[in-house]
Amino acid sequence: MTRLVLYNAPQSTCSQRVRYTLHAKGMAFEEHKLDLFSGDQLRPEYLAINPNGVVPALLDDGRPVLDSAVILEYLEDIAPDIAPLRPTAPIEAARMRAMMRFIDEVPTPAIRTPSYNLAFLPHFQAMSDAEFQALCDSKPLRREFLMRMGKTGFSDADMSEALGRLSRGIERMDLWLDQGGGPWLLGPDITLADIAVMPVIVRMDDINLGYLWDRHPQIGKWLDNIRATPAFKPAYYHGALLTEKYPHLAKVRADAAT
């Protein structure tokens, strides 16, 4: 029986950072892919593992570890000598954690707004008002977010705010790369901070928001570097990108390239 069991979803940005870390450390795990639109994350058997009704959740010998940032640190705690992803010097580890806090406060929640507007909104528009309200009410952590979106999508003001937060995330990343000398956020070695922000940058590129780092070419180089790591492909298997899941987004991307 596999010790580690990961409940996640292919397109979930928080799931992607955990998958990457597991592969980077070469840790064997059993993967359960949840269909979020079918409500797998709200079924009683999953809520017994994660009462927040979100992914990912990791079981270690049957004991749950919740929240992707917590899971990243937990994996480092149980396998610190395998492909280390946290600085050993306490001051540098503190810097890394401060970066992760900023990432989870600013760009990570911001990427949800354009993601939902561009990819997920048609699914919600197909629901009746009662069905949509029931869906919102069933979400322990996302109810207010979905209510704000509604069936018409986020407003221009909401989108502008999200893009502003993403831009601030890019600017902060660029500053960190300058301070550390690259190629990674803290310098020569990849850390959990790079993995924490990775899904945001990959998602931005996937949905045609890469122009936000046109004035910060270091971000593009950083993205190339992380895509070249051995853990990237198994973490981003086919179907993990929104353009692979939703054909209309792939067409929009192709049109933007011409």
pLDDT digits (tens, 9 = 90+) for 161-219: 999 999 999 999 999 999 999 999 999 999 999 999 999 999 999 999 999 999 999 99
DSSP readout, 138-178? T-TTTHHHHHHHTTT---HHHHHHHHHHHHHHHHHHHHHHH
According to CATH, the topology of domain 90-257 is: Glutathione S-transferase Yfyf (Class Pi); Chain A, domain 2 (1.20.1050)
Q: What share of the chain has pLDDT > 70, as a percent?
A: 96
Look up the CATH number of domain 4-78. Answer: 3.40.30.10
Peptide bond into 56 cis (omega under 30): yes
CA distance 69 to 73: 7
The number of residues making up the chain comes to 258
pLDDT for residue 118? 87
Q: What share of the chain has pLDDT > 90, as a percent?
A: 82
pTM for the structure as a whole: 0.94
Mean of the per-residue pLDDT values of the chain: 94
Half-sphere exposure of residue 244, counting CA atoms within 13 Å on the CB side? 9
**What residues does each domain of the chain span?**
4-78, 90-257
> Is the pLDDT score of 74 beyond 70?
yes
Please say whether the beta carbons of 203 and 109 come within 8 A.
no
Please say whether the beta carbons of 186 and 176 come within 8 A.
yes
Q: What's 47's DSSP letter? A: H
Sign of the dihedral defined by the CA atoms of residues 235, 240, 241, 247, in that order: positive
> Is the pLDDT score of 157 beyond 70?
yes
> Is the pLDDT score of 135 beyond 90?
no
- How far, in Å, are 84, 88, 156, 190, 195 from residue 24 at the CA level? 9, 18, 39, 10, 10
pLDDT for residue 188? 98
pLDDT in tens, 136-155: 898 888 899 989 999 989 99
